[in-house]
Amino acid sequence: MALSKLQLRIVQSPVLRYGLAGASFGVALGLALLAQRYGFRNVEVPLFLFAVAVTTWYAGPGPAALVVVLSIAFFDYFFTEPRYTFFVTSSDIPYFIVFISFALLVARFSAVRRRVEAQLLQARDKLEIEVAERTQQASLLNLTHDSIFVRNMDFLITYWNLGARELYGWAAEDAIGKHSHELLQTVFPAPVEDIHAELLRTGRWAGELKRTTAQGTTVVVAARYALRRDEQARPVAILETSNDITQRKRREEEIQRLNQELSKRSMELEATNKELEAFAYSISHDLRAPLRHMAGYTELLQKKASSALDEKCNHYILMMLDSAKRMGNLIDDLLAFSRIGRAETQKTLFSLTQLVREALSEVRQDADGRNIAWKVGSLPDFYGDRSMLRLVLVNLISNAIKFTRTRTQAEIEIGCADGNSDDLVVFVRDNGVGFDMKYVNKLFGVFQRLHDSDAFEGTGIGLATVQRIIHRHGGKVWAEGVVNGGATFYFSAPNPRGHLWKP
């Protein structure tokens, strides 16, 4: 490129061009005169022609014309008869024609040469630009993390980028010229003929391939084929872009495996639930029947024989009836408890204030004849299963009534404690017999009781039921108590996302 610029400048500078014309003509004239002086004949014409040729070739038409005119003039002056005049004879004319023709001929050659030279230069420049672009593209292809390689229709690799080297472990010099699928031990997701047919039909194909790297490890790649055709639309090469999805694949498989396990577990759970349901049903039916019979016959016995029996025997009968009744209550409570675990929760947004009112009216008869100071604070709206929450409140409030029985002035408070922004906390507080914090963990267990049943009756399922319901609502239950200093039961639940309209 630099050379062609230099040549263009010589040709285009007028000073140099005419200088060259003057110089070549001067040299030719000098040499001709010198030859004439020493008696050499007929050298002047070739010398002048040489000057014309040099000037025409290198300096272009203007200086060439000048040299032709000068050559004709001085040839006429020095070398044709009559000498030392510019007088032209007919014998001079052929010389003049020779000079002019020669100049035209050389000019013509020169023009052709120049054109060819220009074309050559142009072609070379184009080539250089293309080479630069290609080099840049190739280095760009090397920048990508995707593996890119090109193979011809015989599956021989012709291009191999850095990404391919990183992914498959083969260097470009090892890979180029090799059969791609042999080198990479490709495992296809479909018959190879089908893939090839699709590639030829649509020009592209995409799918997951399993390959083996130079290190012998297996990789899963997401590959995309693109078919390259020549001007005659004949397929010539296949460009393959692929990236490593081994990790993703592994994770997908792991997720799939976990999902399968999960569905298996939930099926097992469902089966267990069904069994439990059958079990509960059986308890409710088969366990109650003999119990009812025991109670029934005992009562009949009591009716028929009580007058004949002594006080002790009558007491035994009473105890039998009492136990049967208690067993019946236990079964009922246990069934209710198991039903809570199985029942679907039907959640709605409702007013806790209203629900507390309902719960209070439900337990009113427990409080008959008692002196209880009720204190109900302002309560929030609650999102949950209304009937289950009602059971929670009834349980907690009837507990409070029960365990304040020994107080002449019972105090029961129902309110809302400060929770955080995510949870609301509701409590039921009493000034009853309380409990020892040592046993706080036993409070919510099934059949766990902290008081003997003579003092406070109950089956020991109420608080377990409360806990189960609250857990099903995503909340927690806990309690604080002091022996003979009252107890507070708390439950939390996620704050409802909305609010009820309040008149």
Partner 1 sequence: METMNKLGRILLVEDDPKDVELTLTALEEYNLANEVIVARDGEEALEYLYSRGKFKTRSSDNPAVVLLDLKLPKVDGLEVLKQIKSEEKLRMMPVVVLTSSKEEKDMVASYKLGVSAYVVKPVDFHEFVNAIKELGVFWAVINEPPPGSVRK
Q: Quick one: which segment of 77-85, 206-214, 291-299, 447-455 binds partner 1 (CB under 8 A)?
A: 291-299
Query: What single-letter DSSP state applies at residue 187?
Result: B
Rounded to a whole number of angstroms, the distance between the first and last alpha carbons of the chain is 91
Q: Quick one: which segment of 85-93, 194-202, 249-257, 286-294 binds partner 1 (CB under 8 A)?
A: 286-294
Residue 433 and residue 363 in contact, taking contact as beta carbons nearer than 8 Å: no
In the bound state with partner 1, the residue whose beta carbon lies nearer, of 184 and 340, is 340
Q: Quick one: which segment of 74-82, 293-301, 350-358, 370-378 binds partner 1 (CB under 8 A)?
A: 293-301
Pairing of strands 410-417, 423-430: antiparallel
User: What is the closest distance, in whole angstroms, from the C-beta atom of residue 394 to partner 1 in the complex?
Assistant: 18
Q: Quick one: which segment of 117-125, 328-336, 373-381, 482-490 binds partner 1 (CB under 8 A)?
A: 328-336
Which positions from 294 to 313 touch partner 1 by CB under 8 A, shown as an x/- string?
-xxxxxx-------------
User: What is the closest distance, in whole angstroms, from the C-beta atom of residue 319 to partner 1 in the complex?
Assistant: 15
- C-alpha closest to that of 27 among 59, 53, 50: 50
Say whether residue 328 binds partner 1 (CB under 8 A): yes
Q: Which residue's structure tokens are 């990236």?
A: 243
In the bound state with partner 1, the residue whose beta carbon lies nearer, of 108 and 326, is 326
Say whether residue 289 binds partner 1 (CB under 8 A): yes
Residue 78 and residue 32 in contact, taking contact as beta carbons nearer than 8 Å: yes
User: What is the closest distance, in whole angstroms, from the C-beta atom of residue 490 to partner 1 in the complex?
Assistant: 31
- How far is residue 138's CA from residue 154's CA, in Å, rounded to a whole number? 23
Say whether residue 285 binds partner 1 (CB under 8 A): yes
User: What is the closest distance, in whole angstroms, from the C-beta atom of residue 304 to partner 1 in the complex?
Assistant: 11
Q: Quick one: which segment of 15-23, 121-129, 189-197, 289-297 binds partner 1 (CB under 8 A)?
A: 289-297
Contacts 24+ apart (CB under 8 A), 172-178: 174/214, 175/149
Say whether residue 291 binds partner 1 (CB under 8 A): yes
Encoded tokens for 34: 């010198």
In the bound state with partner 1, the residue whose beta carbon lies nearer, of 356 and 469, is 469
| Angle at which helices 14-37 and 44-59 cross, to 10° | 170
Say whether residue 279 binds partner 1 (CB under 8 A): no
Residue 131 and residue 139 in contact, taking contact as beta carbons nearer than 8 Å: no
- Residue of 124, 228, 292, 315 interacting with partner 1 (CB under 8 A): 292
Q: In what order do the strands lie in the sheet with 423-430?
A: 372-376, 410-417, 423-430, 487-494, 477-481
User: What is the closest distance, in whole angstroms, from the C-beta atom of residue 402 to partner 1 in the complex?
Assistant: 22
- How far is residue 375's CA from residue 415's CA, in Å, rounded to a whole number? 8
Q: Quick one: which segment of 63-71, 109-117, 280-288, 439-447 binds partner 1 (CB under 8 A)?
A: 280-288
Say whether residue 327 binds partner 1 (CB under 8 A): yes
In the bound state with partner 1, the residue whose beta carbon lies nearer, of 200 and 278, is 278
Residue 17 corresponds to which amino acid? R
How many residues touch partner 1 (CB under 8 A)? Answer: 23
Q: Quick one: which segment of 125-133, 204-212, 287-295, 347-355 binds partner 1 (CB under 8 A)?
A: 287-295
Q: Quick one: which segment of 44-52, 322-330, 452-460, 482-490 binds partner 1 (CB under 8 A)?
A: 322-330
- Residue 460 backbone zone (phi > 0: left; psi -120 to 50: alpha; other: beta): left
- How far is residue 94's CA from residue 429's CA, in Å, rounded to a whole number? 140
User: What is the closest distance, in whole angstroms, from the C-beta atom of residue 479 to partner 1 in the complex?
Assistant: 30
For residue 211, what are the β-bridge partners?
Answer: 219
Beta strands per DSSP E along 175-321: 204-212, 218-229, 235-244
Residue 428 and residue 395 in contact, taking contact as beta carbons nearer than 8 Å: no
For the purposes of burial, counting CB atoms within 10 Å of the CB of 253, is it exposed (0-12), middle (13-18) or buried (19 or more)?
Answer: exposed
Q: Which residue's structure tokens are 């014998």?
A: 91
- Residue of 40, 281, 374, 447 interacting with partner 1 (CB under 8 A): 281
Say whether residue 284 binds partner 1 (CB under 8 A): yes
Helix/strand/coil for 205: strand
- Residue of 98, 335, 416, 446 interacting with partner 1 (CB under 8 A): 335
Residue 178 and residue 169 in contact, taking contact as beta carbons nearer than 8 Å: no
Residue 115 and residue 209 in contact, taking contact as beta carbons nearer than 8 Å: no
In the bound state with partner 1, the residue whose beta carbon lies nearer, of 62 and 290, is 290
Please give the residue ranges that form the binding site for partner 1 (CB under 8 A). 281, 284-286, 288-289, 291-293, 295-300, 321, 324-325, 327-328, 332, 335, 339
